[in-house]
A and B are shown apart, each in its own frame.
Chain A
Amino acid sequence: MRRALVSLLVAPLISQAAFAQGGNRPVSAVTRQNMAFGTVIPGVPVTVSWSDPLAAGQVEIRGNRNVQVSVQITLPAAMAGPFGATMPMLFGSADGGYSQTNNAAAATSFDPRSPLVATLSPQGRLFIFLGGTVSPPVTQRAGAYTGTITVTVAYL
């Protein structure tokens, strides 16, 4: 009788968790492509569009089928370069795209500065595309610069 009662109490908890996630796969995020601005000229801003197949950042999210996730993106204000130099990075309201397929042409624009709520595909996929702008002043120190964008996804 005691064993039966424990089962009755625990079963609803497990099924509720399974229902909330639409399955039991862990959610994962994998960077498919980094964001590349190429050669930047001092004084000349450069923008990478999220729809640029070669230069945009791309992240693939995998998880349970047809479930909603929230996507939070941490955007740097600057890239770091040689000898402590920094270069401003700017992100606008249309610098993000998302799609259930790995096809930027079919993606929907979103503001990467705000959390995104989207639904994973029937295959449990969601693709995030990211663009942005670097704005080097005319006195920008020459050299290689990098910045890190963090994409965090969570089941709702």
Chain B
Amino acid sequence: MKNILKAAAVLAVLAATARQAQAQASSNVTATANVAAALTATTTQNLAFGTVIPGYNKTVTAASGGIVLFTGGAGAEVTVSFTALPANLTSGANTLPISYTAGTTTTSGGALTSFTPASGTTTTLHATSGELYVHVGGTVSPAAAQASGTYTGTITVQAAYTGN
């Protein structure tokens, strides 16, 4: 009788063990994310009108104008905006009216996608290099009596991730 009870106990333990072994399972889910690099900005070319003749407008196209290179996360969407677009260049107390054009490209020397500087634009950085070139051109309109001198102004452009 003792042997019978022992055998029963062993079988009971085996049954319980077998039941536990197949009664639980697990699986792993891997979460992934790619953190984009912080945006950097570098002015690679200033907007230069050269010598201007009083009474004659002079235009520099965006393609050959000032260039700011932004670098960040490949393929990331950014907003581009001009936070400073002076209406005039200045030389001491003298002013020289200026208007602007702008465009973007993700490759150096690439075809520009134009946008209105005062409105800004939303675009994406290059899919692999993470680069964006923002070009700015403009037209200066000197009066016939424009005082001679060197006129300058500072244009500020910024880019910010949208999160897309």
Q: Is the CB of A147 within 8 A of B19?
A: no
Query: Do residues B29 and A148 form an inter-chain contact, with CB atoms below 8 A?
Result: yes
* Neighbouring A residues of B33 by C-beta, 8 Å: 36-40, 46, 79, 87, 134, 144-146
Chain A interface, >50% SS class: strand
Interface residues on B, range: 35 or more
Is A65 on the interface with B (CB-CB < 8 A)? no
> Does A117 belong to the interface (CB within 8 Å)?
no
In chain B, residues 9-39, which have Cβ atoms closer than 8 Å to a Cβ of chain A? 11-12, 15-16, 18-19, 21-38
Scoring A14, A39, A140 by chain B CB atoms within 10 A of each residue's CB, the highest score goes to A39
Output the least CB separation between A126 and chain B (Å).
12
Query: Are the C-beta atoms of A155 and B24 separated by less than 8 Å?
Result: yes
Say yes or no: A40 contacts B34, CB within 8 Å: yes
* Chain B residues within 8 Å of A13, by CB: 11-12, 15-16
Shortest C-beta distance, A63 to chain B (Å), equals 8
A9, A30, A59, A61, most chain B CB atoms within 10 A: A9
A39 vs B102: C-alpha distance in the bound complex, in angstroms?
28
- The answer to whether A34 and B30 have CB atoms under 8 Å apart is yes
Q: Which residues of B contact A39 (CB under 8 A)?
A: 33-36, 73-76
A97 at the interface (CB under 8 A from B): no
User: Chain B contacts of A41 at CB under 8 A?
Assistant: 35-36, 73, 76, 161-163
User: Once bound together, how far apart are the Cα atoms of A35 and B12, in whole Å?
Assistant: 42
Q: Find out whether the CB atom of B163 lies under 8 angstroms from the CB atom of A147.
A: no
Q: How large is the interface on A (under 10, 10 to 19, 20 to 34, 35 or more residues)?
A: 35 or more
A149 and B76 contacting across the interface, CB-CB below 8 Å: no
Task: List A98-156 residues whose CB lies under 8 Å from chain B.
Answer: 130, 132, 134, 136, 138, 140-155
Flag A1-44 by CB within 8 Å of B: 1 or 0 each. 01001100110011001001100011111110111111111111
Residue B8 at the chain A interface, CB threshold 8 Å? yes
Q: Pick the most buried of B12, B30, B33, B74: most chain A CB atoms within 10 A of its CB.
A: B33
In the complex, are the beta carbons of B35 and A140 less than 8 A apart? yes
When chains A and B are docked, how far (Å) is the Cα of A138 from the Cα of B22? 47
The answer to whether A148 and B4 have CB atoms under 8 Å apart is no
Q: Residues of B with Cβ closer than 8 Å to A?
A: 3-5, 7-8, 11-12, 15-16, 18-19, 21-38, 73-76, 161-163
A-B contact pairs, 25 of them (CB 8 A): A6-B11, A10-B15, A13-B11, A14-B15, A21-B23, A26-B21, A27-B23, A29-B25, A34-B29, A35-B32, A37-B32, A39-B74, A41-B36, A42-B35, A46-B163, A76-B31, A87-B33, A136-B35, A142-B38, A142-B73, A145-B35, A147-B30, A148-B30, A149-B31, A154-B24
In addition to A27-B24, A28-B25, A57-B29, 4 A-B residue pairs with Cβ atoms within 8 Å of each other are A9-B11, A41-B76, A146-B30, A153-B25
Instruction: Sort A-B residue pairs by CB-CB distance and give the 7 closest, nearest first.
Output: A26-B22, A37-B33, A57-B29, A29-B27, A41-B161, A142-B37, A152-B26
